Amino acid sequence: MKLLPVPKKPNKPQPTEVKQEWRSHLPKPSRKQIIYTAIVLVTIILVVWAFRPAPLGVDIATVRRGELQVTVNAEGKTRVGDRFVVSAPVDGRLARIKLDEGDRIEQGTVIARIDPLPLTASVKEALGRLEEWRAQREGVATQRPKAATLEQARKRIQVAVTAKKQAQAKVAEIQAALEQARRDRQRAQKLHATGAIPRKDKETAQLNEITKAKELETAKLAVKSATSEVEVARDALTVLQKEQQDPDYLLKVYSARIASVEAELEKLRDEAKRTDITSPVGGQVLRILQKSAQFVKSGTALLELGDVSQLELVIDVLSTDALKIKPGDRILISQGTEQQPLLGKVRLLEPSAFTKVSALGVEEQRVNVIGDFVDSPGSFGDAYRVDVQIVVWEAKDILQVPLSALFRCGKSWCTFVVKDGKARLRQIHLGHRSDFDAEVHQGLEAGEQVILHPTEKIDAGSRVKKR
């Protein structure tokens, strides 16, 4: 087989040769054209640079480690621990109180006086009534029947009973005589019928029977009269006995009146002793409620006493905040100056909440927190308003970020971190929060810079600079 020769390709011009050939056909720029072209390019660059967005000025803070305190901020007031309200113990005319607010007093010092004269007169009047009722009780004995009268009534009964017995015996005697007269009359009738005795004897026997019958009736009437006399005598004795007991109720009445007057007298004497009103404790006069002389009723409040050196704190907080507070928590008490706050301690939380209307007209459930001063109260007095911070949590060496650098991004918290002059969006996880800072669990490192008060103009990647 015979091989045919391969045809040769035509020679192509080299790139350098083509370029040189193209350039050879271009017109050569003049010096003026080069200068104008440079001016146009510089102008374009300057316009682009002028209209390029400038970096936003922002406030920047540094993420740091340090101590973090979580507090409940509230208002409260000071209060004397043991406050005593001295009241008028009795009705009467109060003399002008010579004490002034702030005066120191000792226990037992006379601090007010009530005119004792009306009470003294009442005591004398009660004594007079007591003597009167005692005399009335002693006079009850004169109203009773005499013992001789009772004895006479008893003897009268005995005489009447004896007379009744004698009348009864007489009836029995006449009864027997009547029975005998009746038998004599029957015998005389039989004898007269046989002619043994004359008619006159028979009539005599009949008359004797009739006479005995009449005597029996008279004797029975005498018994009845004697029985009545016995009953009358006994009734008379019963009346006398009742008259003997009738004054007993008067004795009870007078004894009750005497007991009542004695009780009243005891009360009046006690009140008369209490017209000089003394201080129950040593301390200071906090308030004078009734300064001028006037008539006062028992129970009228006159003064308030207490020891101002024994102050406590009464702080009302929202019931939701009260759930975070426990006895023993520290209280930081502002003194209203650049001085260090005073230290206090929570003693107790009152068990019952109360409703309070806020300045915005919203009803809130609040709880009183009672605290004690750990430091000296200094210049604080009774019922002074105080601003306090109750420390409910604190720790040292905590990674923290300012709250003003945080904002919500969905259900999480985010912040802008400044890196290479640009804002970088960072999602973070937080822990405890104070009024100004928040604990960072994840998402930031110490030393990183974050943007404070980020606005809608800042986006991820925006150029920023520190103001």
Contact, 293 vs 127, CB < 8 A?
A: no
**pLDDT value at 277 more than 80:** yes
Share of the chain above pLDDT 70, in %: 89
H/E segment holding residue 166: helix 147-194
Tens digits of residue pLDDT in 138-163: 776 666 666 777 777 788 888 888 88
**pLDDT given for residue 436 in this prediction:** 92
Given a cut of 60, whether residue 14 has pLDDT beyond it is: no
Task: Dump pLDDT digits (tens) for 393-442.
Answer: 999 999 999 999 999 998 899 999 999 889 999 999 999 999 899 999 99
Measured between alpha carbons, how far is 53 from 421 in angstroms, rounded to an integer?
A: 13
- pLDDT on residue 28: 67
Phi and psi torsions of 5, nearest 5°: -75, 140
Q: Indicate whether 358 pLDDT > 90.
A: no
Cα 464 from Cα 423, distance rounded (Å):
7
195, 182 Cβ separation under 8 angstroms: no
The yes-or-no verdict on residue 61 having pLDDT over 60 is yes
167 with 228: CB under 8 angstroms?
no
> What token pair was written down for 325?
């507070």
- What tokens were used for 14? 């080299």
Q: How far apart are CA 156 and CA 163, in angstroms?
A: 11
Mean pLDDT throughout 458-462? 87
Q: What is the mean pLDDT of residues 23-47?
A: 72
Model confidence at 1, in pLDDT bands (50, 70, 90)?
A: very low
**pLDDT at residue 26 is higher than 60:** no
Question: pLDDT of 233-250, one tens digit each?
Answer: 787 777 766 666 656 677
pLDDT digits 0-9 by tens, 160-212: 888 888 888 888 888 888 888 888 888 888 887 887 788 887 788 888 888 88
Residue 153: the pLDDT is: 75
Residue 3 has pLDDT above 50, yes or no: no
User: What's residue 11's pLDDT?
Assistant: 54
Q: Give the pLDDT of residue 243.
A: 64
Based on the number of CB atoms within 10 Å of its own CB, is 404 exposed (0-12), middle (13-18) or buried (19 or more)? middle
Distance CA 435, CA 332 (A): 14
Contact 168, 223 (CB under 8 A): yes
Beta-carbon-side half-sphere exposure of residue 10 (alpha carbons within 13 Å): 2
CB 288 within 8 A of CB 100: yes
The pTM score is 0.59
DSSP class of residue 247? H
Q: Residue 4 has what pLDDT? A: 43
259 vs 46, higher pLDDT: 259
- Sign for the CA dihedral angle at 457, 462, 463, 464 comes to positive
What's the rounded mean pLDDT across residues 344-361?
93
Residues 77-89 have pLDDT tens digits of: 999 988 899 999 8
The residue ranking higher by pLDDT, 23 or 298, is: 298
Average pLDDT, the chain: 84
